[in-house]
Structure 1
Amino acid sequence: MQRYNILWADDEIDLLKPHILFLSKKGYDITPVNSGADALEKFGEQSYDVIFLDENMPGMSGLEVLSQIKTMRPHVPVVMITKSEEESIMEEAIGAKIDDYLIKPVNPSQIVLSIKKLLEQKRIISEKTTQSYQQDFRNIMMAFSEEMNHDEWAEVYKKLVYWELEMESTGNQSMADVLKMQKDEANVNFAKFIMRNYEEWLNNPDIEKPLMSHQLLRKKLFPKLTNEPTFFFLIDNLRYDQWKVLEPLLAEYFNLEQESTYYSILPTTTAFARNSIFAGVLPAELEKIIPNFWQDDEDEGAKNNNEKDFLQYQLKRNRLEHIKFSYHKIIHQNQSKTLVENFSNLLHNQLNVVVYNFVDMLSHARTDTEMIRELAPDEAAYRSITKSWFLHSPLVDMVRKIAEKKCRLIITTDHGTIRTTKPYKIIGDKNTNTNLRYKQGKNLDYDKKNVFVCRKPEALHLPKYNVSTSYVFTTEDYFFAYPNNYNHYVKYYKDTFQHGGISLEEIIIPYVELIPK
C-alpha cells in the first residue's frame, strides 16, 4: 500500500494523539502542528498529499490558511474540520475550494474515509471497474453465441460503450486491449446479423424490426409536437459514445425524458441517411419527390440541399402541413451565432430543426489535417474534442435559451463513424464513388470476404444508376483502397474516422428527448 504524507493543523493537536496513532498504524505518515502559521511553514518545506485544517484556531484561522495553501498549490486536497455547523462558514469554505468538510468530534474512521475518498477513490473505483467488467465480459461473450435481436444488439453496444467510458474515466487501461478485442468481435457478429436481416427489414412489414432512419420523424418526433415550440437538433456524425460525454453537460439545464437508439439505413452517409430522415422514405423513393435527384452523384454534399423540401413533404404526407416550422443548417460558426441572436423569432414555430455539421467536419478535418490527427489519435481524444467543441460553441447559448423558455429539446444524428484500420482492395472505374466504407458502380472487382454485396439495389431501396449498378459495403473497421498507389493511400486513410459501412458505431445511434428543469 502506498504511504501518504498528511499535515494536520489543530490548536488541540495533543488531544488527537490517539487518532494520529491509529492513522499511523493504517500506513499514513502524520505531521501534527498546532497553529495555522506552523502549518504554512511545514507546507512550504515539503510536499503533502492531504491537509487537515481546524477551522477555529488562534491567530490565523483555518479559512485564512486554506486561502494561502490554495494560492501556493491549488491541487493539494484540504479537509476543513470545525465545531460549527453554520451555513455561512460552510459556504465560505466551499467557495475557497475546500475538498471535504468534517464536523467535530471526528472519529478515526471518518478521517480514513475522507483520505480514501480524496486519495484512493480513483484506485478503488478502477479496481472495482475492472472486476465488474471481467464479470460482464463473460455475459457479453455468451450473448454472441446466441441469436440476438436488434434490441439486444443495441443493449450490447451500449454496454461496450459504458465500459469504454468507465475505463477511460478511471484511467485504468489494464483491460483496454481485452475490451477492444470484445468490441471487434461484436462488430464481426453484428455485421453478420445485419447481412442476414437488413433486406427483410425493408421489405417485410410483418416482422419485428428496429426503428430506422426513414421512420424516425413519423414515429418519434411528430407525435410529440404541440403548440409549444420543439427544438430538433440533428448533429451530423454523432456516435452514441459522443452523446454520452455531452449528456452531463446538458444535465445542468435539462432532465432526460427518454434516451433511445435507432438504426441508420445503408449506406450510413449523410446523402442517404439524412435525406431519408427528413423525407420519411428510403433512398430509391427520393426520386419521386424530387425528379432526377440521383442523376448527378459527383458531389455527395450537394445531395443535402433539399432537406427542408423533404421535411415539408413528410409533414404534408402525415397531414401536418399546418405545423409551422423552421429549418437551419449550421456549417460555419457565424451561422450559429446568428441563429442564437434571432432566437426569439424561433419561439413562434411549433418545430425548429437545426442541423449541425461540426462533428462531420471534424472527422473530415482529422483525415485531411495532420494537426487534428495528433489532437484526436483515438476514440477517447475524439470524444474529448467533441466535448470541447460543444462547451465553446454558440450551441451552448442556444441550449440555455431553450431551457429558459421551457421548450422541449430533441438531439439525434443521421449516422455514426468508425475508426478504420484495415485496408480492403477494390477496383472500380472512374465513375465509382469516393466513399471509403461503401462503393457503388458497375464492374467492381473485390474479394467477397468481409463485405456486404448488393447486386440488386432495388432490394435495398437504393438508387440504380444503370443496369449493372451494384453496392458493396465494408464491415468491421475495413476501408476500401485502390491498388494504384496503394501504400500511400493506406497510410493516408488508416486510423481515420469514416462512415458508410456496417458497424455498431455507424448504425446504432442516439435519439434523446430532453425537458427543461
Structure 2
Amino acid sequence: MDDWRETILKEFFPNVSKLTLAADPDCLLTEEQLYSKLRQRGFDLIEFDDSIAFRYEYESKYRAVWDRGEHTDLVVILRLQDSELSSLPYDLLQAGRKLYFNLGDIFPNLSYPVIEQLDRSMLDDLFKAQQNTQPDRLGDNATKDYILHHVYGISLDMISDEIRLLRTLLRLHYSKTKMPVIFSQRFVWLLRENTNFQSWDLEKIVPDEKAFFAFLQERWPVFIDHFAQKDQIKEKSFDYGFKYQGPNLLPFNHQDIRIYIDNLFLEGRLSSIIRSETDIDTNSWIKIGIKKENNDSSSRISGLFKLLNENFPTIKSSYSDWINFALKWAELSALIHCTNNESNYLQFQKMGQELNKIFAIWLTGNYSALINLPPTNPAMLHHISRHIARDMEKSKNHLAALIVMDGLALDQWVTMRQILQENDSRLIMSESAVFAWIPTLTSVSRQSIFAGRPPNYFPSSIKTTNNEEKLWKQFWENNKLKRCDIAYARGLSDGDVENIMDSVINPGKTKAVGLVVDKIDKIMHGIQLGAPGMHNQIKQWCKKGFLLSLINYLLDNNYEIWMTSDHGNIECKGKGRPSEGVIAETKGERVRIYPAKELRSQIAADFPFAHEWHPIGLPPDCFPLVASDNHAFVKHGETIVGHGGISIEEVIVPFVNFKRNTR
C-alpha cells in the first residue's frame, strides 16, 4: 500500500449506509486529499462539536431527505476516541454504522503521543519512510529522531559546522515547513551537544521562522561591511545592535547559502540595507541586498516575475501552495502599485488574469474541502477564533485580542507592514494567510470570523453585521469565558488609542477582545485613483500611527494579538450592470445574490465573466453570481476597487501574529 489514505478509504463505499459515525481524534478524515477523495465518492462530512449547530444542519439537510426516501452518504465526525462515540445522540447511534481511525493504527511501531503532534501534510513522507525502513517499535525520543531524519531531512551527524546548520535552517524555514514544538525542542537539544553551537540563540531561531530571518537580517550588514573592507572600500564603523546571539559574521557567500539569498530579498523576508558608500559591481550577487539613494525597484520586480512564473500554481495545487504563492504575489502587487511603470503594470495585469482563471477552477473543485480542516493551522476565516481559543488553552497567557481589518488585501498588508517595521523595529510579525468566505462580502465573511462558524449557522443575519458582538460573545461563552471577560468594538480608525481602548476593555481582566478597524474599507469605497491610490492612502494612514499605537497598547497589556481581514479587494473594470429590478437580494459591484437558482441563471446568461457559485457553507436560499478576473457589475469601462468576487486578491487574506522582541 503506497498511500496511508487507502487504509481509511477502504471503509468508504457509496450506498453501504446512509449514516456513518466516525471517531477521528487525529483529524484524518478532513486532511485535504482524503477529504477530496471522500467527496468524490459522494460522502458529505459534518463535524459534531456543537450539538445545537449540528442538529440544525443535520435536520435541515439530511433528515428531511431521508424522510422522503432518498439516499445520501453522510459521515458524522467526532474528534474523540472511539469509546466516546456513545456521547452522540441516541437517534444517530441507532441509525449509523461506527468506525474508528487513528494514527496509531497507521504507524503501529512509532510513539503515538509523538506522531499525533505531526502536521498532517507530513504524513505522506512518514508513511513512505515506514514502508521503506520497516522500523522496530520505537519510544518517544527514538520516534522524534526517526521523524527528524526521515520527514524533515535532518541528520545530526551531518550538521557539524555553521554552514551545514544554516543550510538546514534555511531549507526548513524557506519552505515554511511546520515543525511542532516537540520536534524543534528535540532538534535544539541535540544541537546543544555540539560545542560549535553553544553561542547560538537556537531556542529562538530553530522553531520560529520570523526570528530566524530577523537573525539573518541582523548579520547581513556585517557581511556587507566585511565584504566592502575586504575589497578595500572606505571603512566605516556601524553599531549593529544585535538582538539574537550567535556568530557576528555568517557565511552568506557560501554556495549552499547563496542559493536562498536572492529569493529571500525578492519575497520580502529579508530587507535590503542602505550602504551608499559601498561600491558593488553591477553583476555582483549581493547587490539585491543593498539599497542606494533613489534606488528603484526594477530589479526586484523582474526577479519576482521570474520567481512567480517558475512557481505558478495549477488546478492540482494544494491550498497551502496557493497561500504560499499568494504571499509572493502580494509582494509583487505592492511593488507594482507603489511604482509608476506602465510596462510592469500591463505584465502584472496579464499574469493576474491568467492566475485568477486557474484560481476560479481550483476553487470550484477544492474550496469545500477547506471548511472542516482542523484549526491548528487555520485555512479559513472561521477557523481563526477556534485557533485562538486552543492557543489560549495551551499557553500560559490567557489574554487574546483579534483585530479585523475590514477590507485589507494581502498586498496592502505588505505596504502596511513596511511602515510598522520602520516605526517599531521591536515588532515581530509572523505572517500567513487564510481563505475568506465566498462571496467575499463583509456581512458574510466577517461574521464567520467572530462566530467561529460557516455562514449557514447565522442565516438570519447574513445581510448585516449587527450581530457580530453577539456571535463573538456566544463563541467565547461556549469556550467557558464569562460574558464580563469578553469585549468587542467596531468602527475604529483614528483617535487617541488609550482613551478608546480604556472604554472598551478592563486591561488584564478582559480576556478575549474583538476589534474591527474599518479605515481600509472607508478608503476603498471612496477611492478614485484605483489600486495605486489605495496603497498611497493606506500608507499615509498607517504613518499617522493609529494601528501601531493599538498594537502596542495591547502588547503593553499582555495580550496575544492576532490580525486578519474579512476580505480583500481588486481593481476592476465595469462590464455592465444587470437590469433585474428587485429579484437580486444583494446588488454588489462584484457579486449579486439571488433567492433561487432559476433567477440567478436568467441573469448569468448575459454576463459570461460571472460564476454561478455553488452555495458552499451558505444558507439554503443564498445563490451568488460572482465576478471573476478583474470585471465588475458596473457601467462599461468604469474603473473601481471592489470586493465580493473570487480573485486571489479578494479571497486569500492576511493572518498575522504580533509579538515584541524584548531583548
TM-score range (shorter-chain normalised) is 0.5 to 0.7
Partner of 1:217: 385
SS at match of 2:470: helix
Partner of 1:475: 628
Q: Does 1:461 align with 2:617?
A: yes
Q: Does 1:446 align with 2:599?
A: no
The 5-angstrom pairing of residues 419-438 of structure 1 reads 419-432=571-584, 433-438=586-591
> Hey, what's the Cα distance between the residues in 1 that align with 2:373 and 2:660?
37
**Offset of residue 438 of structure 1:** 1.5
**Offset of residue 171 of structure 1:** 6.1
Partner of 1:73: none
> Hey, what's the Cα distance between the residues in 1 that align with 2:486 and 2:461?
24
C-alpha distance after superposition, 1:355-401 (max 9, x if no partner): 111111111122xxxxxx1xxx2323311211211222533332333
Q: Does 1:260 align with 2:429?
A: no
Question: Is the contact between residue 233 and residue 354 of structure 1 (CA under 8 Å) also seen in structure 2?
Answer: yes
**Offset of residue 269 of structure 1:** 0.8
SS at match of 2:587: coil
Judged with a 3 Å threshold, the aligned counterparts in structure 2 of structure 1 residues 131 and 463 are, in CA distance, closer, same or farther, namely: closer
SS at match of 2:506: helix
Q: Does 1:269 align with 2:438?
A: no
Question: Is the contact between residue 439 and residue 624 of structure 2 (CA under 8 Å) also seen in structure 1?
Answer: no
| The one of 112, 116, 129 aligned to 2:300 | 129
> Hey, what's the Cα distance between the residues in 2 that align with 1:399 and 1:120?
29
SS at match of 1:419: strand
The 5-angstrom pairing of residues 85-484 of structure 1 reads 121=292, 126=297, 128-133=299-304, 135-141=306-312, 143-144=313-314, 147-166=316-335, 174-202=343-371, 211-220=379-388, 222-224=390-392, 226-251=396-421, 252=424, 254-256=426-428, 258-287=430-459, 292-293=460-461, 300=463, 303-321=464-482, 324-331=485-492, 333=494, 338-340=499-501, 342=503, 345-366=506-527, 373=528, 377-392=529-544, 394-432=546-584, 433-441=586-594, 442=596, 443-444=599-600, 445-448=602-605, 449-454=608-613, 457=615, 460-465=616-621, 470-481=623-634
RCO comparison, higher one (Cα < 8 Å, 6+): 1
**Offset of residue 337 of structure 1:** 6.7
> Hey, what's the Cα distance between the residues in 1 that align with 2:487 and 2:604?
47
**Offset of residue 475 of structure 1:** 1.1
Provide the TM-score with structure 2 as the length reference. Answer: 0.50
> Hey, what's the Cα distance between the residues in 1 that align with 2:292 and 2:564?
34
Question: Is the contact between residue 168 and residue 380 of structure 1 (CA under 8 Å) also seen in structure 2?
Answer: yes
RMSD of aligned alpha carbons: 3.9
Question: Is the contact between residue 253 and residue 403 of structure 1 (CA under 8 Å) also seen in structure 2?
Answer: no
> Hey, what's the Cα distance between the residues in 1 that align with 2:649 and 2:414?
13
C-alpha distance after superposition, 1:169-227 (max 9, x if no partner): 6766643322221122111111111122234544x779x99711222210245424654
> Hey, what's the Cα distance between the residues in 2 that align with 1:343 and 1:396?
18
Q: Does 1:511 align with 2:663?
A: no
> Hey, what's the Cα distance between the residues in 1 that align with 2:543 and 2:508?
24
Judged with a 3 Å threshold, the aligned counterparts in structure 2 of structure 1 residues 249 and 343 are, in CA distance, closer, same or farther, namely: farther
**Offset of residue 511 of structure 1:** 0.7
Gaps of 5+ in 1: 1-80, 88-98, 103-107, 295-299, 367-372, 482-488
Judged with a 3 Å threshold, the aligned counterparts in structure 2 of structure 1 residues 440 and 136 are, in CA distance, closer, same or farther, namely: same
Aligned length: 379
Question: Is the contact between residue 337 and residue 531 of structure 2 (CA under 8 Å) also seen in structure 1?
Answer: no
Q: Which moved more, 1:472-481 or 1:263-272?
A: 472-481
C-alpha distance after superposition, 1:456-511 (max 9, x if no partner): x4xx232244xxx6321111112124xxxxxxx346xx221111111101110011
**Offset of residue 253 of structure 1:** 5.6
**Offset of residue 121 of structure 1:** 3.5
Letter aligned with residue 316 of structure 1: E
Percent of counterpart pairs with the same letter? Answer: 19
**Offset of residue 244 of structure 1:** 1.1
Question: Is the contact between residue 453 and residue 470 of structure 1 (CA under 8 Å) also seen in structure 2?
Answer: yes
**Offset of residue 230 of structure 1:** 2.7
Partner of 1:45: none
**Offset of residue 407 of structure 1:** 3.7
Judged with a 3 Å threshold, the aligned counterparts in structure 2 of structure 1 residues 265 and 209 are, in CA distance, closer, same or farther, namely: farther
Question: Is the contact between residue 409 and residue 513 of structure 1 (CA under 8 Å) also seen in structure 2?
Answer: yes
SS at match of 1:446: helix
Letter aligned with residue 632 of structure 2: F
**Offset of residue 123 of structure 1:** 8.1
The 5-angstrom pairing of residues 45-64 of structure 1 reads none
Letter aligned with residue 194 of structure 1: L
Judged with a 3 Å threshold, the aligned counterparts in structure 2 of structure 1 residues 191 and 220 are, in CA distance, closer, same or farther, namely: farther
Judged with a 3 Å threshold, the aligned counterparts in structure 2 of structure 1 residues 151 and 424 are, in CA distance, closer, same or farther, namely: farther
SS at match of 1:353: strand
SS at match of 1:509: strand
> Hey, what's the Cα distance between the residues in 1 that align with 2:281 and 2:408?
44
Judged with a 3 Å threshold, the aligned counterparts in structure 2 of structure 1 residues 172 and 280 are, in CA distance, closer, same or farther, namely: same
Question: Is the contact between residue 438 and residue 473 of structure 1 (CA under 8 Å) also seen in structure 2?
Answer: yes
C-alpha distance after superposition, 1:284-327 (max 9, x if no partner): 2114xxxx445xxxxx4xx1111111012212333445882211
Following TM superposition, the consecutive aligned residue runs of length 4 or more in structure 1 with deviations greater than 6 angstroms are: 81-87, 99-102, 108-112, 122-125
> Hey, what's the Cα distance between the residues in 1 that align with 2:504 and 2:368?
43
C-alpha distance after superposition, 1:330-371 (max 9, x if no partner): 2564585741454883332222221111111111122xxxxx
> Hey, what's the Cα distance between the residues in 1 that align with 2:369 and 2:485?
36
Provide the TM-score with structure 1 as the length reference. Answer: 0.63
> Hey, what's the Cα distance between the residues in 2 that align with 1:126 and 1:85?
28
Question: Is the contact between residue 440 and residue 651 of structure 2 (CA under 8 Å) also seen in structure 1?
Answer: yes
SS at match of 1:304: coil
> Hey, what's the Cα distance between the residues in 1 that align with 2:455 and 2:556?
38
Question: Is the contact between residue 330 and residue 336 of structure 1 (CA under 8 Å) also seen in structure 2?
Answer: no
Partner of 1:92: none
Judged with a 3 Å threshold, the aligned counterparts in structure 2 of structure 1 residues 480 and 404 are, in CA distance, closer, same or farther, namely: same
Question: Is the contact between residue 613 and residue 625 of structure 2 (CA under 8 Å) also seen in structure 1?
Answer: yes
Letter aligned with residue 402 of structure 1: L
Gaps of 5+ in 2: 1-232, 240-273
Judged with a 3 Å threshold, the aligned counterparts in structure 2 of structure 1 residues 461 and 122 are, in CA distance, closer, same or farther, namely: same
In proportion to residue count, which structure has more strand? 1
> Hey, what's the Cα distance between the residues in 2 that align with 1:216 and 1:305?
20
SS at match of 1:232: strand
Question: Is the contact between residue 326 and residue 346 of structure 1 (CA under 8 Å) also seen in structure 2?
Answer: no
Judged with a 3 Å threshold, the aligned counterparts in structure 2 of structure 1 residues 214 and 205 are, in CA distance, closer, same or farther, namely: closer
Question: Is the contact between residue 425 and residue 446 of structure 1 (CA under 8 Å) also seen in structure 2?
Answer: no
